[in-house]
Amino acid sequence: KILILDFGSQVTQLIARRVREAHVYCELHSFDVSLDFIKEFNPKGIILSGGPNSVYESDYQADPALFELGIPVMGICYGMQWMAQSLGGKVEAGKVREFGFAEIEVNNNNPLFKGLSDRVHGDKVCLEVWMSHGDKVTAMPAGFEVIASNASCPIAAMADTTRNFYAVQYHPEVTHTIKGREMINHFVLDICGSAPSWTMPNYIDQAVAKIREQVGSDEVILGLSGGVDSSVAAALIHRAIGDQLTCVFVDNGLLRLNEGKQVMETFAEHLGVRVIHVDATEQFMGHLSGVTDPEAKRKIIGREFVEVFQAESAKLPQAKWLAQGTIYPDVIESAGAKTGKAHAIKSHHNVGGLPETMKLSLLEPLRELFKDEVRELGVALGLAPQLVYRHPFPGPGLGVRILGEVKKDYADLLRLADAIFIEELRAAVDEKSGKTWYELTSQAFVVFLPVKSVGVMGDGRTYDYVVALRAVVTSDFMTAKWAELPYDLLGKVSNRIINEVRGINRVVYDVSGKPPATIEWE
């Protein structure tokens, strides 16, 4: 396994992703972990991430004794600068900040660049990389040689092949560095000698054994939301302990069309999981009645979920474990939020968050996995790809997509309109990419606006509600662009909604990016 030390770069998670894609297990930890921690972790290699600071004036310093452990180390950007400074080299502020594509000339006999080439100019082999730095290394520590350079960055990469120390000034983890993936593969597989054994079937075997060992003969409860994470967690735990698992599925009346039915079909019928289905629509609608403030609505939905879940779990007094679909980015995020080192990310009210008063131990079998890995695992466990590759759906459900007061009638109209939009996105194929528009968007849904406008249908005047279509493209949901859906697709969706959903006579398209707008309307 590989240890990644995080110096606070925005893209550190991508390093972890690339290492996992090389089928090597890795973990990401703060740069200031102790030497004992590193020894205990016993990594095959260490990667030092980038970071926003300057090494010569920052307290972002790891323990330089890590260079004495005989373990290969790769520094990226700030990681390179910290390596250079720690081993006796020199780092200085550059005259200009370099940001964007850069061509570097490389020695591709070196193990890191072995055989790589994007372009050849005479006897020069060049690679296209993504630079983003102000400072740079101006003198290398003893034992190092330059393995890549260009005019503005004469030491763009350096290596000490005897001690297996490598450092690059650019970012190999981002896709803009064309051969970045290969460089990371070379480091973790060839230089560190890690075995590519992080594969789904292996993972399932290990995870199943671990769950059995943790849980023994105890019973486990899990709040199934229909979302990807809780679904995959349920399927995995069920694979491990069968009927010792009971799922509680709370229908809050704010789910998408037929969602309750699909969850029961998938889990109870197809996988044979024991699922308690609670229809709590009236309870939720009752408490939401008259409430218009978005934050108040979120709180009520979260609180009522806990109420229902606790009442149901009280009926299973023998349960000792509460299972949750926490995934690795959640773990990293909350760790970052605690230490304040990684950039704090907007914390969402998660309906899955249950109070500690529930005297249950936590079982979180997906804690090590990235989202893509969770999906892959879901498919390997027999969940339908349609379910596993679904767009995310917020915990408060349609509650944040009905502006202002939530009413059952509004939810019913919204469900129908939303189903039409999604059906058309799944059916429409983009000719250029061959993908459906559902696949080309990261999240798409309909928002219900409780305002009426005038229309004409047949010979009559109508006075009905408005809905907005929202479709965005994003990789991290922190920023997003509105999706450039084809006009004919928008036209078709609009026609169908207005013709098929009585009560809606106007459809608009949301063309706001995030920021300044958010993805959801509330």
Active site residues: 77, 171, 173
Q: At what angle do helices 200-215 and 228-241 cross, to 10 degrees?
A: 70
Cβ-contact 430, 484 below 8 angstroms: no
The Cβ of residue 457 has, within 10 Å, a number of other Cβ atoms equal to 12
Give the DSSP per-residue string, 417-432.
HHHHHHHHHHH-B-TT
Q: Give the list of residues 6+ apart from residue 442 with CB closer than 8 angstroms, or none.
A: 391, 472, 473, 474, 475, 477, 480
Nearer Cβ to ligand XMP (15/519): 519
- Number of neighbours of residue 365 by Cβ within 10 angstroms: 22
CB of 520 to ligand XMP, least distance (A): 3
Nearer to ligand XMP, 349 or 407 (CB): 349
Nearer to ligand XMP by Cβ, of 182 and 251: the residue is 251
For 102, the token pair is 């850069």
Nearer Cβ to ligand XMP, position 70 or 516? 516
Q: How many CA atoms lie within 13 A of 43 on its CB side?
A: 30
State in angstroms the smallest separation of the CB of 153 from ligand XMP: 37
Q: Give the integer Cα–Cα distance in Å for 353 and 34.
A: 31
The two tokens of residue 325 are 């679909």
Q: Do 170 and 177 form a contact (C-beta atoms < 8 A)?
A: yes
Residues that bind ligand XMP (CB under 6 A): 298, 346, 348-350, 392, 394-396, 443, 477, 514, 518-520
We find the least distance from the C-beta atom of residue 307 to ligand XMP, in angstroms, to be 17
Owner of token pair 């249908």: 457
Task: Compute the least distance from the CB of residue 14 to ligand XMP, in Å.
Answer: 19
Q: How far is the CB of 254 from ligand XMP (least distance, A)?
A: 12
Closest CA to 352 of 249, 209, 444: 249
SS3 letters across 21-89: HCCCCEEEEECCCCHHHHHHHCCCEEEECCCCCCHHHCCCCCCHHHHHCCCCEEEECHHHHHHHHHCCC
**420 vs 417: CA distance, rounded Å:** 5
Give the nearest distance from C-beta 514 to ligand XMP in angstroms: 5
How many Å apart are CA 159 and CA 182, to the nearest integer? 17
DSSP structural state of residue 436: B
Nearer to ligand XMP, 283 or 474 (CB): 474
CB of 171 to ligand XMP, least distance (A): 25
For 276, other C-beta atoms within 10 Å of its C-beta total: 16
Number of alpha carbons in the 13 Å side-chain half-sphere of residue 469? 29
* Neighbouring-strand partners of residue 448: 402, 467
Q: Are 220 and 208 in contact (CB under 8 A)?
A: no
Cβ closest to ligand XMP, residue 452 vs residue 514: 514
Nearer to ligand XMP, 1 or 481 (CB): 481
What is the Cα–Cα distance from 96 to 110, expressed in whole angstroms?
A: 29
Of 171 and 390, which CB lies nearer to ligand XMP in the complex structure? 390
Token representation of residue 136:
């740079």
Structure tokens at 368: 């090590």
Residue with Cβ nearer ligand XMP (111 or 513): 513
What span, in angstroms and rounded, lies between the C-alpha atoms of 162 and 246? Answer: 55
**What's the min distance (Å) between Cβ of 346 and ligand XMP?**
6
Q: What is the spatial distance between Cα 83 and Cα 75, in angstroms, rounded to a whole number?
A: 7
Smallest separation (angstroms) from ligand XMP to the CB of 376: 20
